[in-house]
């Protein structure tokens, strides 16, 4: 009872203050899934690319010159241990029902969309289990492969996962983009669409400017013409 | 830190042989079957601390299997806790071994050292949001106006967005999103205000964020945008200049021709104007 009270008090104190989290996530699964992520406040500082056998630093620009130590060797060891546990646990839980949670996705641009200015579309997929998910992008109903990336899988508080897929694009009036998410818990892909609806500047001021300039130029030419004519009269 | 990550993620100082034997020992208590299920396992080792007191640090080492937490080390308790039948057995086994002693040392060796590195490079940093205030057209042709206040590319995620009408906070007819992650450390948020515009009132979007020590206030200007106003100014200026130049030229020409043709009979006065002589 005393221990339980102590845990409760600690949790209350930590929740009440402005607290921060630093940590490591090591994950493994069937179909050669493996992940090793260094996190700070749920943001990714670095991860390991097991195929390339190297660390990938993902610090933001504002972090300056923070030095991250190498993590690949430790990540490899962590993965070995993870797979050892997984091999045992999959036997233990072989008869238990499969845990399946469908994803929920949303699509939005990274910055204020402006015509012909490079931007990024984000497809945030969350609440699913287990990984992986497959994210497919289309532009005007045509599949797009170039310029798309997918992040590592991050765990949510409830044990489900979330992931970000990003697509570089240049907004052009009338274009329709979509991201389709495929997952084991879905009968059919979940599709979200986003169309380029950049508020066009009204045509009135441009027309007025053009007409004003034209008439002004005509008036100026008329003035010059008559002035020259007047001079010729001498 | 190089050794400290290894320290956290190595499974005690047991050899792999010992690791397997300990797992199989516990496994013997359970029914073993076959399944086509998908399995996924992850381990989260996390140091939780307050920026005001880095020494009061809590360390959790949690292992999840198929979404469920099954065992965790809690530095406040100084031992492992199991959360299901298998987890309880494993916790009991680990609490009686050397692994628990290693986990107890993690706060000093791993948490405090690393948290200080990142506290210096990240905790004191804040990135100011890029804000756009615009009107949004809504289907249905209602008389009310919908204003959108969007803040992009800010960090940290905690932000407060609200609306003012002539300096008074507006609470009704306001809809806001949560802070939306871009997945690259940066965030965005959007707030909509639906209101019936009245002449002479001032509507403002106010943003409170760690990147500014005072609220950032953005007033809604219902008039044309600057670049559109500039176009009109250019058009008006050109037109006025043209009219003035044309008028001056014509007046000058008239004066000249009037002066020259004053001795000519009155019926011929119009000829130079008509035939451009």
Helices (H) and strands (E) in chain B, counts: 7, 13
Interval B21-55: pLDDT, tens:
454 445 444 434 445 667 888 989 989 887 666 66
For chain A, say whether B222 makes contact (Cβ under 8 Å): no
The arithmetic mean of pLDDT across residues A128-147, rounded, is: 90
Q: How far is the CA of B127 from the CAs of A19, A45, A190, B154, in angstroms? A: 19, 17, 34, 5
Asked whether the predicted pLDDT for residue B135 surpasses 60, the reply is yes
CATH of domain A22-93: 3.10.320.10
Residue B105 pLDDT: 81
pLDDT, residue B28, reads: 46
- Residue in A128, A208, A209, A215 to test binding to B, most B beta-carbons within 10 Å: A209
Identify the helix (H) or strand (E) that includes residue A12. helix A2-16
Band (B184; pLDDT cuts 50, 70, 90): very high
| CA-closest candidate to residue B79, choices B55, B61, B67, B54 | B61
Please name the residue that has the structure tokens 């492969």.
Answer: A145
**pLDDT exceeds 90 at position A66:** no
The DSSP call for residue A71 is -
Q: Which residues of chain B does A128 touch, with a Cβ-Cβ cutoff of 8 Å?
A: none
Inter-chain residue contact B153 with A111, CB threshold 8 Å:
yes
Taking the mean position of all CA atoms in its chain, how far away is CA A140?
21
Q: Given this model, what pLDDT does residue B224 score? A: 60
Query: Could you tell me the CA-to-CA distances from B52 to A91, A114, A140, B57, B106 in Å, in that order?
Result: 46, 42, 51, 11, 21
Do residue B46 and residue A99 have CB atoms under 8 angstroms apart?
Answer: no
Domains and CATH numbers, chain B: 41-123 (3.10.320.10), 130-219 (2.60.40.10)
The torsion region of residue B153 among left (phi > 0), alpha (psi -120 to 50) and beta comes to left
Which of the residue ranges A211-215, B85-89, B115-119 would you say has the lowest mean pLDDT?
A: B115-119
A90 pLDDT above the threshold of 60:
yes
Contacts of A37 in chain B (CB under 8 A): none
Question: pLDDT band at A229, cuts 50/70/90?
Answer: confident
Closest CA to A77 of A149, A2, A26, A130: A26
Looking at the complex, report in whole angstroms how far the Cα of residue B143 sits from the nearest Cα belonging to chain A.
20
Which residues in chain A have Cβ-Cβ distances shorter than 8 Å to B8?
Answer: 24
Produce one character per residue of B107-146: b if its CB has 16 or more CB atoms within 10 Å, e if not. Answer: beebbbebbebbbebbbebebebebbbeeeeeeeeeeebb
Contact between A103 and A125 under an 8 Å Cβ cutoff? The reply is yes
Of A87-101, B92-106, B247-261, least confident by mean pLDDT is: B247-261
The half-sphere exposure of B157 on its side-chain side, counting CA atoms within 13 A, is 14
Q: What is the mean pLDDT of residues A126-141?
A: 92
Mean pLDDT of chain B: 76
CATH architecture for segment(s) A104-196: Sandwich (2.60)
Residues B155/A60, Cβ–Cβ less than 8 Å: yes
Residue B88 clears pLDDT 80, i.e. is over it: yes
Q: Which residue of A has its CA nearest to B85?
A: A92
Cis preceding linkage at B6, omega within 30: no
Give the distance from residue B135's alpha carbon to the nearest chain A alpha carbon, in angstroms. Answer: 9
Cβ distance B182 to A122 less than 8 Å, yes or no, reads yes
Interface contact B236, partner A, CB < 8 A: yes
- Tokens 């699964």 — which residue? A29
Tokens of A162: 């979330």
Average pLDDT over residues B219-231: 73
Query: Which chain B residue's Cα is nearest to A221?
Result: B246
What span, in angstroms and rounded, lies between the C-alpha atoms of A49 and B39? 21
Contact at CB, A28 and B240, closer than 8 angstroms? no
Nearest chain B residue to A27 by CA distance is B42
Residues A42 and B44: their CA atoms lie apart, in Å, by: 11
pLDDT grade for B216, boundaries at 50, 70 and 90:
very high
Q: Among candidates A123, A152, A137, A143, which has minimal Cα distance to A39?
A: A152
**What's the mean pLDDT in B231-249?**
84
Q: B44 to chain A: which residues are within 8 Å by CB?
A: 23-25, 155
pLDDT tens per residue across span A1-14: 334 333 333 443 34
Min Cα distance A169 → chain B (Å) is: 15
**Cα–Cα distance between B57 and B63 in angstroms, integer?**
20
Determine the residue of chain B that is closest to A206 in CA distance: B231
Task: Tell me which of A105 and A7 has the higher pLDDT.
Answer: A105
Reply yes or no on whether the pLDDT at A93 is more than 60: yes
Does B263 score more than 60 pLDDT?
no
Q: Which residue would you say has higher pLDDT here, B270 or A76?
A: A76
More confident residue, A211 or B270: A211
Chain A nearest-CA distance from B168, in A, is: 28
Say what the pLDDT of residue B143 is: 55
- How close B126 comes to chain A (CA, Å)? 8
The nearest alpha carbon in chain A to B77 belongs to A3
Q: Where are the alpha helices (DSSP H) in chain B?
A: 2-9, 16-27, 85-95, 99-106, 113-118, 226-260, 271-275
Q: What is the pLDDT of residues B54-63, one digit of tens each?
A: 667 889 898 9
Inter-chain CB proximity B43 and A219 less than 8 Å: no
Helix/strand/coil for A53: coil
- pLDDT score recorded for residue B218: 93
Structure tokens belonging to residue A148: 């798309």
- pLDDT winner (highest mean) among A24-38, A97-111, B211-225, B242-256: A97-111
Given B8, B30, B120, which is nearest A92 (Cβ)?
B30
Facing residue for B1 by CB, picked from A17, A69, A210: A69
Residue B77 Cα, gap to closest chain A Cα (Å): 7
Percent of chain B with pLDDT over 90: 21
Smallest CA–CA distance from A157 into chain B, residue? B67
Q: How confident is the model at residue A145 (pLDDT cuts 50, 70, 90)?
A: confident
User: How far is A102 from A89, CA to CA, in rounded Å?
Assistant: 23
A64 vs B143 pLDDT, higher one? A64
Minimum Cα–Cα distance from A101: chain B residue: B67
Once rounded to an integer, what is the mean pLDDT over residues A100-104? 90
Average pLDDT over residues A23-49: 87
Best of B1, B3, B5, B32 to mutate (most A CBs within 10 Å, chain A) = B5
Q: pLDDT by residue (tens digit) across A192-214?
A: 999 886 655 666 777 878 888 88
Ramachandran region of residue B185, left (φ > 0), alpha (ψ -120 to 50) or beta? left
For chain A, which residues make up each domain, given as ranges? 22-93, 104-196
Test mutation, B17, B37, B125, B151, chain A, max A CBs within 10 A: B37
Q: Facing residues of A179 across strands?
A: A137, A192
């Amino acid at each position: 009872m005393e221990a339980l009270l102590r845990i409760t008090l600690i949790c209350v104190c930590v929740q009440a203050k402005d607290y921060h989290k630093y940590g490591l996530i090591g994950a493994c699964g069937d179909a050669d899934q493996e992940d090793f992520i260094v996190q700070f406040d749920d943001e990714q500082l670095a991860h390991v690319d097991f195929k390339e056998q190297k660390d990938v630093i993902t610090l933001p620009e504002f972090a300056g010159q923070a030095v991250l130590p190498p993590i690949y060797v430790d990540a490899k060891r962590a993965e070995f241990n993870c797979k050892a546990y997984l091999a045992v646990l999959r036997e233990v839980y072989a008869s238990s029902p499969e845990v399946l949670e469908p994803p929920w996705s949303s699509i939005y641009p990274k910055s204020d969309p402006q015509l012909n200015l490079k931007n990024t579309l984000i497809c945030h997929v969350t609440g699913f289990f287990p990984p992986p998910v497959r994210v497919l992008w289309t532009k005007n109903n045509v599949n797009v492969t170039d310029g798309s990336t997918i992040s590592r899988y991050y765990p949510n508080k409830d044990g489900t996962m979330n992931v970000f897929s990003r697509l570089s694009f240049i907004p052009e009036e009338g274009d329709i983009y979509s991201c389709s998410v495929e997952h084991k818990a879905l009968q059919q892909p979940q599709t979200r669409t986003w169309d380029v609806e950049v508020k066009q500047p009204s045509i009135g001021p441009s027309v007025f400017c053009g007409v004003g300039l034209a008439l002004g130029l005509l008036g100026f030419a008329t003035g010059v013409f008559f002035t020259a004519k007047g001079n010729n009269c001498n | 830190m190089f050794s400290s990550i290894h320290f956290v993620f190595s499974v005690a100082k047991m050899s792999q042989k010992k690791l397997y034997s300990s797992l199989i020992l516990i496994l013997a208590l359970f029914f073993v079957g076959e399944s086509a299920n998908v399995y996924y396992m992850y381990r989260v080792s996390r140091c939780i601390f307050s920026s005001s007191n880095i020494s009061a640090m809590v360390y959790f080492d949690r292992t999840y299997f198929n979404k469920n937490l099954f065992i965790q080390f809690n530095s406040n308790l100084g031992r492992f806790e199991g959360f299901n039948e298998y987890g309880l057995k494993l916790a009991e086994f680990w609490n009686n071994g050397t692994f628990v002693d290693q986990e107890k040392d993690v706060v000093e060796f791993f948490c405090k050292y690393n948290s200080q590195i990142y506290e210096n490079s990240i905790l004191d940093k804040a990135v100011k949001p890029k804000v756009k205030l615009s009107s949004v057209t809504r289907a249905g042709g209602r008389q009310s106006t919908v204003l959108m206040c969007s803040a992009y590319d800010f960090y940290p995620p905690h932000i407060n967005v609200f609306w003012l009408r002539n300096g008074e906070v507006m609470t009704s007819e306001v809809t806001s999103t949560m802070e939306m992650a871009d997945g690259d450390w940066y965030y965005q948020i959007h707030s909509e205000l639906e209101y019936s515009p009245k002449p002479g009132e001032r509507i403002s979007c106010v943003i409170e964020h760690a990147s500014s020590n005072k609220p950032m206030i953005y007033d809604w200007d219902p008039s044309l945008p600057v670049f559109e106003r500039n176009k009109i100014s250019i058009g008006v200026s050109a037109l006025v200049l043209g009219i003035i130049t044309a008028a001056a030229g014509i007046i000058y020409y008239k004066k000249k021709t009037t002066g020259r043709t004053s001795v000519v009979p009155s019926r011929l006065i119009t000829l130079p104007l008509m035939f451009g002589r």
